[in-house]
Amino acid sequence: MFVETVVDASADGSLQCGSQVCEAGVTECCFQKAGPTLMCIPIGSPCDGQVSLCDGDEDCPSFDGGSYHCCGVLGADQVRCLPSCTGESGTVLLCHSGADCPRNAPVCQRTSFNGRDIQACTVPGE
């Protein structure tokens, strides 16, 4: 099984996508399950697999005075910006380090998300 880790240590609003770097807000990372292949595609283009619009909160905009968070959405097979991702609705908060995580899920660790490794905030021991 092929598993690719998406980590953007630069925290500059870019999205690491395999060996490519996608431009947040312009392109998204497409993880095609057939292949598997990771590639940057224009936002909204067809992708036969998982789509990532972000790999951390730095890629997400702020609207109406509130910040959006980079969330993995299990049922939708997407990683996208949402107002919150508490884990209760099948979401996980993506992170680069423990400093990105809330108190109720303070550990940033590699975890599997729909067949792909990501860095997500978790509860110790889970």
Reported as a single tens digit per residue, the pLDDT across 69-118 is 999 887 777 888 888 887 666 788 999 999 999 998 899 999 887 777 78
pLDDT score recorded for residue 36:
65
The domains of the chain are located at: 14-122
Q: What is the DSSP letter of 57?
A: G
Reported pTM: 0.75
Q: For the purposes of burial, counting CB atoms within 10 Å of the CB of 124, is it exposed (0-12), middle (13-18) or buried (19 or more)?
A: exposed
The token pair at 49 is 């697999």
Backbone angles phi, psi at 65, to 5 degrees: 80, 0
pLDDT in tens, 4-49: 333 333 345 678 888 889 987 789 999 887 776 889 999 889 988 8
pLDDT for residue 1 is more than 80: no
